Structure 1
Amino acid sequence: MKRIPARFQQLTLRFGVVAVAALAFTLLLAFALTRNPFLELGPQLEEKFQSLTLHVLQLQQQTGELDLLARTRYDTQNSLIKLIESDLRLAAPLVDASGDSEAQQLFRDLRALFEQKKQALRHAQKAHAIAINSYATLPPLGDQCQQQQKAVEASFDPHTILDQLIRLPFMGRVDERSLLNQLHTLDTLLNTSVQSSACRLFLRHATTFVREYARLIQFQRQADLSSLYQRTEYLGRRFDTLLNEARAQQKRLNQILLLATLVLAALAIAALISLQRHARALEKQQDDLKRLNRFYRALSEVNEAIVAMPDRSSLLQKTARILNETLELLAAAILEVDPSSGWLKLVAGSSANPDARNTMAKLRISVDENRPEGRGLAGEACRSLRIAHADNYQQDARFAPWKPLGQRYNVQSLAALPVEVEGRCELVIMLYDTHPTAFTPELLHLLDEIRQDIGYALTRLKMLERQKAQEAQLQLAEIAFNAKEGIAIINGDGRILRANESLHAMLGLTDNELAGKRAHLLFADQTLFMQLMNLLDAEQDTWHGEITLQRINGEHIPAAITLTRVPQDFDQAAYVLQALDLSEKRALERALERQRHTNAITGLPNRESLLLQLQTLLDNVMDRNDLGLCILLNLRQFKTINNSLGFTQANELLKKVGQRLQSKLDFPHITAHNGADEFFIVPLQFYRDEQAARDSWNTLAAQLRELFNAPITVGDRQIHLEFYAGITLFTAADNAEDILTHATTAMGAAKSEQKTCMFYAPEMDQLAARRLDLRNALERALRQAAFELHYQPVVDARTGKPQLVEALLRWRRDGELVRPDQFIPVLEEHPQLMIEVGRWVLRQGLNDLLHMQTVAGDGFGVAINLSSHQMNDPELETLAHELVMTLGLNPATITLELTESALVSDLDRARAFIDRCHGMGVQTAIDDFGTGYASLAYLQHFPTNKIKLDKAFVDPIDPNVPKSFAIPEAAITMAHALGAQLIAEGVETEVQARTLAKLGADMIQGYYFSRPLPLDELLAYLKAQHAS
């Protein structure tokens, strides 16, 4: 850089000092010349006289008409008088400071005039108070006077006088002369001595009223404020004129001073330009030196981290932090290449911006140039194994997939450093900066050194890891030889070189007894070992299978054998024999085989056992013309009973039902437990025709009813049970599986028709087929995106403003919406299909929530119903977490709703599920509260955020019948005591809404506010609510 001559620098500096001094002098002179006090006082005076004029005008309006009955008008007058006094008091120092003597005199006259008017108003108010008091007493006093005059000769008619006086306030303008005449008349009557006491009191009050009313009119006329308003307005206009003249004068002065200032400023600028150039040159030299120091400090610290390298992860994290902090970057990220997919995964990152740190983990970057995400700098650097950088990130088309993020964090320049390990790109270091052209040639040279150093360090680390792995394998081999599995090493001649302790114990031998023995002696079939050795030598290296070994006492042992050929030098081979004793496994399998045909709860034959017994009947017992009966019983409402009792007592109940069915029926039969709440009964008697079989069923049904009418004691509770029955007739030509299927079909029909029993008929299969078709159609609907979500608003009970919406599943089939009660039960019958539909609902609902929040705000929420099956979905929580992170949603705006029956079906599982939801920040709600469970004890297990009161408790609400809202009131109190909000569902009338709000409900949902709406209609609804 060329140096500026010293003499020129001195001249420039002196000239600059003179110019700056001249400029300062000019500014001081301008300040002195422009201090016009009225420019500061004028706006204040203008404001005060505007307020004063307004208050005088308002007071004039209040005193314009006489209204004897308007008591409150004088309160308003007094308030305005105080405001005018305040305005005059605040304006006084401003008027004095203005220096305008004429305005000051006018202001003093104005204040004197106001005092006169104020006194007149005070006298008028006093006269009004006296007159109105006398006025109020005249009617009763007139009536008393009239009563007393009936006993004596009347000198006047009090009612005539009373009528005249009563009409005075309503006559508009009243002539003062007529009032004086009236007053004279009253005085004359009052002085007449024949008047009664009541009449004298009446006349005294009448006289007082007329006299004060006349004074009121006189003071009202004196209090006319027209002249006060005119003077106030005139004085305000005078100050406006003075302010405008001061502003015009100031404007002319400003123009002159501006011109002078510009001339002097130009001289000063010319003097300072050369100094600024010199200062910038020095500053650039210092910046370049600081930057270079940072570069070398980063290189030094990275090398120190490589030397101290505790492990790969720590090295990469420390490298990212050093590069980010030392080079003062926006962020530094180290990405690892997945060789199989080509995608890059974040393994280390650093940024001062927490939001940027979170965003780095979500970036989708690839090294595959066939993907848009693989055409950026990372992919280019990894494929070429050379540093790639860009200085104009925002305009570079290669960065289109990440452009929104770049704009969000103001990324201007970017560099990608490939790290080569053993000949391939293993890592890419991404550096982001908010300054353009941040990556200079000097910095890129330094970064190239850093990435090569890291590559050398990681290559060395891999070599060390392989060495450790080999050592670990040797240690593992030693550990394996001491394992519980029997192991023997055999040479090529078939002799045992070494055997571990486990193999000796398996064969009943002591340590080292097997060394030197022939290996074929271990096998029950002693020819087998040589056959296996020949097989391994000829065809394969390892053989797996099960064979029988022989203990020293001749006992045979089932064992799983692995024989491995290990090549040695000079075409020799050794063999490793691994033997696992299967004795216990075989014993367990035999026990399991016995259990396979028995129900674990009741000890009755299970379905598989029943199939075998039934097939034996068909094949060996029944004649060709015989008819048999097969009955399937299903216990009614057992799920509710199970939830109420708990698993232990519910299983005890099932056991006692099985015992009754097996022992209390008075005919030979087979009883089998089909699982859950279903029992098969097959009578061991056969019939010659269908009528005989049906008669036999009627007898059996009577016994079953008698058996089930008797309560079953479980713990301290008496349980009464009812049943559904499906019956099918069968012949010897039928198939056992078909017989059980027909009984199941008949039982399902009985449940659907709500009948106690039904015989199987072929047309029932068509109904089952239709349900199967419906299931298949639902699976197609899921694949073809035929489902949609409608949303019903949930509003604040007090304000009526929407707080969230409930997502409701809808199915559009052939252009028409299918009623939910026609397809939801079918989904519930197929857990996996319900889980997949539930995942779709969660994805769609949270994506739609983004659109809702653009209208209703970030705090607006969505509630999504979960089936009990979804608590078993291992992917549900992961999916919810990914959606929240990807969409950038606040998890507190998401509510997952579970029905009571879903919660109490497994208390521990439900509690754990709710705890995990709360751990993610997601809220939970108990849906349809009060309908699914008789006991409230379960609530203490679930720290839920919301409780939804079922419509069944909202419909009966009648404000005139207190009992009708007793349950809602109790539910609201209980919810608040548990720290939860209560939402009332199914609100359809204004009466219900108001009553629930009065009872303390937090939120309300129902058709009174809105039906469920598609997304576009919902957004319009929310916009309208927001606008209102």
Structure 2
Amino acid sequence: MSRSPSSPKPHPDAVPTRMAVSRTPRGPQMALHEVLDRLGPCIFAGLLDTDGRLHYANEAALHAVGCTPEQVLGERFDTTPWWQACEQSQRQLQLAIASAARGEASRFDVRIATRNGPPLAMDFSLLPLYDLDGRVVWLIPSARDVSERDQAQHQLLLTRHAVEQANDALLQVGPDGAFRDANASACRLLGLERDELLRLRVSDIDTQVDATQWLQRWRDLYDSGSLRFETSVHHHDGHEIPVDVSISLVTSGDTSFAHVCMDDLRERRAAERRIHQLLQFDELTGLPNRQLLLERLDAMLQAGTQSAVLVLALDRFKRINDGLGTAVGDAVLREVAQRVTSTVRNIDLVARRGDDEFVVVLAAGPDDAPHLAHALLESIARPMHIDGHEIHVTCSIGLAMTPAEGERAETLLRRANAALHHAKRLGRNQINVYAGAPDDYDPERLALENALRQALRDEQLELHYQPQVDLAQGRIVGVEALLRWQHPTLGRIPPDRFIPIAEETGLIVPIGDWVLRRAIEQAADWQRAGLPPVRVAVNLSARQLLQPDLARRIEQMLASAGLDPRLLGVEVTESMLIANFDQAVQHLEALRALGVEISLDDFGTGYSSLSYLRRLPVDLIKIDRSLVPDVTAPADDVSITRAIITMAHQLRMRVLAEGVECEGQAALLASHQCDQIQGYWCSAAVPAAALEAMLRDSRDSRDIGDACLRLSACTDAQAQTR
């Protein structure tokens, strides 16, 4: 076919669609050809006779398959190259030609072949053309490339499937609070069918929002772009479900809606309650444990309640375990707990401190406490009948009173404990009342305070560093800087002896600044020496956390030493955060913004940690050594550790276990996906030079790394087996 002089050249990017042909254009037919040629590079068009033979194809169609008019004109349209890509499309065309010859138009999607590249998705039309007598004389095929439309529809379908199959409950909410869409998880969460849910509004399911409050929430969302909060929703059966809600504003043109994601908190809350129970109550007796005892005793003392503390220890209890077995010994402890509880009053607190020791906190005056102590001696001394054995047990009791306001729980317990030891020295089955002098008049303590001031001036303090090993990588990724004091004449003084003095006298502030500066300088020296990067963690004191310029001063120390802030970590304990929570969080957020890692130390031994944990800017949780189980540990001890690790990972925090002393403990921690470990199994705290040798790939660090990699491989194998 010869092209008209006015025909446009084929577009270089023309893509095949549908096509038509003509033989000898003349008169009105010639005008039709010119129109079809000018439809553009993405529109294929042509002309067929009523038998389906091709008489004309426009330039775009010919270019798509790389044909000349002479190669396709006069051929049946369904046999031309355009239709070789898809047999189904070819069959649809054949039916459409027969229908068009009868005067019926057709339109459907087809796949058309191209010269280069994959077939194109086309929107194809075949229209009959009538003469003046109303007879069909020509058929006009045309096709438009809809590949992008199909791809967009396919992507939309995939997105819809992803939303529908998501585990989280996902909903769309309009500005009026009405639900526009919901996935299957949302329907299951609320116990509703989709059509039922889409007839509701937010105020119908949210227990904390009515119709007027939703308008304010929408304004808040519009201002901030996103919201995150916890609430509870109504289930169709009537019960309430706690949920964590994330809302994002979606705007397209004049249309806006809220994309809502709801996370069911029931399992997390149950885990929190279980952890709370395990962390604060003794599993054997059900009594409050040592930590809950300290918390409640401190609350009583701060309220100014005059109290007495009795520490009760069973006399020679070990002979029962050795002679009759631990099962009988456990039964004896449960019986003792029941007798102590029934002897004291409802207003008194009974706790198990550990092993064979119990503590009773009496809200009583000086005259009532000795009377109750004697009643306890008599109650415990009564014979016990357990598993066919008649068992006789006595106890010793130490008693301490609160002498004045401002007394601390630890001080009161220490005094009661000193009285207990004196009662045992008196021959057991005795009561002894503490009568020692206050710490302020302790000559040894005053001498140690003066020596500590001099130690700070004379640079007697030094830092040792304990490695922190990544269980997956099998290498040292961090160290904890620990303060040591070697006195010229007194020798090594343990931290638990001088740190409390430093805290009470305020010396902890200059000492804390010295520790920060020295640790940062040492970390910078290691980096300049080309050693592998390790993060140095420094313990902050409660007083440091109250300083308003803490983050600024640490930033200046980092800049002065030239240390990347990501190679510094700070550790805080839960108890430090309680008194000034908001201020502490501000300081930690400022440090985290610098790149400093935030660790929560001694986790599991503090106060209401779980209620605060989600609000804290914490990167790493350090499980206290008292909660690190061994392979021989009871299942409940292991469950505490596993629950803490799972909870931390759900909150996107890493977990480090302290006090790991053997490979068995490390293996158990690795099997429960603990991230890092620290303890004597890896290494004791060592001077900077010794740690530098380890970082230079000494034999010790290689052995540790190999062992960790073995543990990691075993854990992976177990996971694959499961």
TM-score (norm 2): 0.40
Greater relative contact order structure (CA < 8 Å, 6+ sep): 2
Structure ID, larger Rg = 1
Structure having the larger proportion of residues in strand: 2
Structure having the larger proportion of residues in helix: 1
